[in-house]
A and B are shown apart, each in its own frame.
Chain A
Amino acid sequence: MSDYLILQTVEPSNSGALGRSLGLAAGLAQRGHRVTVFLAQNAVLSARRAARDVGLTDAIEAGVQLLADDFSLRERGIAVDQIRPGIVPSPLESVIDRLAAGAKTLWH
Chain B
Amino acid sequence: MAKTTTLTFALMDAPFESARTTTAMRLLDIATRRGYEVNVFAYEGAVMLPFALQKGHLNLAHGNDAEQENHPLPKDWIDALIRQAEAHGGHLRWVNCGLCVDERGAGEAIEGIKTGTPADFWQMASTSDNTLVIPTQ
**Once bound together, how far apart are the Cα atoms of A89 and B30, in whole Å?**
17
Which residue in A96, A102, A107 is a CB contact (below 8 Å) of B30? A96
Task: Name which residue of chain A comes closest to B10, CB basis.
Answer: A107
Ranked nearest first, the 9 interchain pairs of A and B with the lowest CB-CB distance are A99-B130, A41-B19, A96-B30, A100-B5, A107-B134, A92-B26, A105-B132, A93-B30, A96-B31
Kindly state the separation between the CA atoms of A96 and B38 in the bound complex, as whole angstroms. Answer: 11
Which of A42, A69, A95, A102 is the most central at the interface, judged by chain B CB atoms within 10 Å of its CB?
A95
Residue among A9, A96, A105 with max Cβ neighbours from chain B (10 Å): A96
What is the CA–CA distance of A69 and B131 in the complex, to the nearest angstrom? 20
Q: Are B20 and A41 in contact (CB under 8 A)?
A: yes
Determine the chain A residues whose CB is within 8 A of the CB of B5 once the complex forms: 100
Residues of A within 8 A of B36 (CB): 100
Which residues from chain A sit less than 8 Å from chain B, CB to CB? 9-10, 15, 40-42, 69, 71, 92-93, 95-96, 99-100, 102-103, 105, 107
What residues of chain A lie closer than 8 Å to B19, measured between beta carbons? 9, 41-42
Least distance between A7 CB and chain B CB atoms (Å): 8
20 A-B interface contacts by CB (under 8 A): A15-B137, A41-B19, A92-B23, A92-B26, A92-B27, A92-B30, A93-B30, A96-B7, A96-B27, A96-B34, A99-B132, A100-B7, A100-B36, A102-B129, A103-B130, A105-B130, A105-B131, A107-B132, A107-B133, A107-B134
Max chain A Cβ within 10 angstroms of own Cβ: one of B34, B133, B137: B137
The count of chain B contact residues (Cβ–Cβ below 8 Å) is 19
- Residues in B with CB closer than 8 Å to A93 are 30
CA distance A92 to B26 in the complex (A): 8
A100's nearest neighbour on chain B, judged by CB, is B5
Q: How far is the CA of A100 from the CA of B36 in the complex (A)?
A: 9
Which B residue sits closest to A107, measured CB to CB?
Answer: B134
